[in-house]
């Protein structure tokens, strides 16, 4: 919902309470019209003089037609920045939060920030512009959304044919029970329970038209995602105050994979959705990414050499790792192969725990680490509590395991 000429909230003279109430009422009407699928009322809240923005909002309204919304509302956070409007009236900056839920999928609202400019003309307020990046941070800002409902998934796509989205939904539907079996708390309909860390047993997958559009959704450089088949959004701890989990698929990299690779990718990302509530700042990336990979490969016939080719080459070249990968090793920068080896090292650590101590212990270890507030001491404490070994002993055993499996 982009526009131009937005003002900066919080600048200029104080905004009278009456104006704040009037703007709040405007946003309530605008939200209600969208929820009710009332295009006439929706456009009635948009400045008639802002022809470009009005045309953009008409397109956005149409783009959202297939999206199953359970709720949609704008909440006014602060106002400011009075300025004269073109012709009669006044302009006012409005910093808002858009909160929405997808029907049947989101247990808490997705929250995104929206900086609007509203204008008052002849005693009536309208939305006249919005500050948003080119390309659109929401999928429906990028074009008409096609929605495909799977048994356990909702796939939303732009610029994709329906058959491709249906195939993606089928892959996601297979990923959910696989993750439920590994995480042992899959949520309703998947055999899981309702204990701490339970998840709904459903996933939302988005496939934009290109990797460039994917980068726009994630508000990151496109270079970060070339060659990356999919990523999962959301915040650790699952508080519901940040955007809910979405699996964002790179149509180019994902399309280059075979059926097995696609299933591994979707299962890996679904594992992140399932574990989000019990993943915290205390959880190292080797554990969160390693567990997701262990879940994805669990039950397959892939050997360690097949699943960890970069690490196997390093071991063969007498460059076996001396310690578990750091969070920095999972960055996009650095020498070629480092990122792949970091994932493979984390996977082998989780695989070793599952084989040596059992799958239930691996899940208990993951949950235990995530239950800490800080990184410092979290892994060492849970290694002793759950597995009965020190961090030094665990690392030594892992190094020997890597050499044994890949040497």
Render pLDDT for 371-394 as a digit per residue (tens, 0 to 9): 999 999 999 999 999 999 999 999
| 89 domain-assigned | yes
| 1 domain-assigned | no
| 2 domain-assigned | no
Same domain as 285, residue 272: no
Q: Per the structure block, which two tokens stand in for 48?
A: 């008639």
Same domain as 183, residue 122: no
| 156 domain-assigned | yes
Same domain as 270, residue 365: no
Residue 90 CB-density burial (10 A; 0-12 exposed, 13-18 middle, 19+ buried): middle
What is the pLDDT at residue 235?
Answer: 58
In this structure, are residues 374 and 281 in contact, taking their beta carbons and an 8 Å threshold? yes
Same domain as 234, residue 146: yes
- CATH number, domain of 216, equals 3.40.30
What is the pLDDT at residue 90?
Answer: 84
| 6 domain-assigned | no
3-state secondary structure (DSSP) of residue 360: helix
In this structure, are residues 268 and 359 in contact, taking their beta carbons and an 8 Å threshold? no
Same domain as 267, residue 149: yes
Same domain as 117, residue 73: yes
Segments of the chain with pLDDT less than 50: 1-8, 11, 84-85, 186-194, 238-243
In this structure, are residues 211 and 251 in contact, taking their beta carbons and an 8 Å threshold? yes
| 60 domain-assigned | yes
- Among 276, 295, 328, the domain boundary falls at 276
User: First and final CA of the chain: distance in angstroms?
Assistant: 55
| 87 domain-assigned | yes
Same domain as 116, residue 169: no
- CATH number, domain of 37, equals 3.10.450.50
**Residue 232 belongs to what domain range?**
135-276
Residue 62 CB-density burial (10 A; 0-12 exposed, 13-18 middle, 19+ buried): middle
Q: How many domains does the chain have?
A: 3
Same domain as 114, residue 35: yes
Same domain as 257, residue 193: yes
- Among 115, 132, 149, the domain boundary falls at 132
d(CA 200, CA 236): 17
d(CA 30, CA 53): 15
Same domain as 84, residue 21: yes
Same domain as 262, residue 207: yes
Does the pTM exceed 0.85? Answer: yes
What is the pLDDT at residue 31?
Answer: 97
| 63 domain-assigned | yes
Same domain as 80, residue 30: yes
- Among 276, 291, 310, the domain boundary falls at 276
């Amino acid at each position: 919902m982009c526009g131009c000429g937005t003002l900066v909230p919080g600048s200029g003279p104080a905004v009278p309470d009456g104006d704040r109430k009037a703007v709040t009422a405007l946003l309530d009407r605008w939200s209600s019209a969208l929820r009710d699928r009332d295009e006439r009322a929706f456009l009635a809240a948009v400045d008639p003089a802002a022809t470009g923005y009005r045309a953009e909002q008409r397109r956005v309204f149409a783009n959202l037609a297939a999206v199953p919304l359970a709720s949609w509302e704008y909440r006014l956070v602060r106002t400011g920045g009075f300025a004269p409007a073109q012709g009669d009236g006044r302009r006012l900056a409005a910093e808002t939060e858009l909160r929405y839920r997808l029907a049947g999928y989101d247990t808490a609202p997705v929250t995104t920030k929206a900086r609007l400019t509203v204008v008052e003309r002849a005693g009536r307020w309208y939305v006249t512009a919005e500050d948003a990046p080119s390309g659109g941070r929401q999928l429906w800002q990028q074009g008409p959304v096609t929605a495909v409902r799977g048994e356990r998934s909702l796939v939303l796509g732009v610029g994709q044919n329906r058959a491709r989205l249906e195939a993606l939904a089928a892959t996601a539907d297979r990923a959910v029970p696989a993750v439920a079996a590994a995480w042992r708390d899959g949520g309703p309909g998947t055999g899981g329970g309702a204990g701490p860390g339970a998840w709904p047993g459903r996933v939302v997958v988005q496939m934009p038209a290109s990797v460039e559009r994917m980068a726009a959704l994630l508000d990151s450089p496109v270079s970060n995602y070339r060659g990356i088949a999919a990523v999962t959004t959301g915040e650790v701890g699952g508080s519901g105050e940040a955007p809910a989990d979405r699996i964002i698929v790179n149509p180019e990299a994902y399309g280059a994979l075979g059926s097995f690779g696609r299933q591994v990718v979707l299962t890996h990302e679904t594992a992140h959705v399932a574990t989000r509530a019990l993943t915290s700042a205390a959880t190292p990336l080797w554990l969160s990414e390693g567990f997701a990979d262990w879940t994805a490969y669990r039950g397959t016939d892939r050997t360690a050499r097949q699943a960890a080719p970069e690490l196997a080459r390093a071991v063969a070249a007498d460059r076996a790792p001396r310690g578990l990968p750091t969070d920095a090793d999972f960055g996009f920068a650095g020498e070629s192969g480092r990122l792949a080896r970091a994932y493979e090292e984390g996977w082998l650590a989780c695989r070793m725990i599952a084989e040596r101590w059992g799958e239930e212990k691996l899940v208990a270890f993951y949950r235990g680490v995530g239950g800490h507030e800080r990184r410092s001491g979290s892994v060492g404490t849970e290694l002793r509590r759950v597995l009965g070994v020190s961090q030094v002993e665990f690392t030594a055993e892992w190094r020997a395991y890597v050499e044994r499996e890949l040497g």
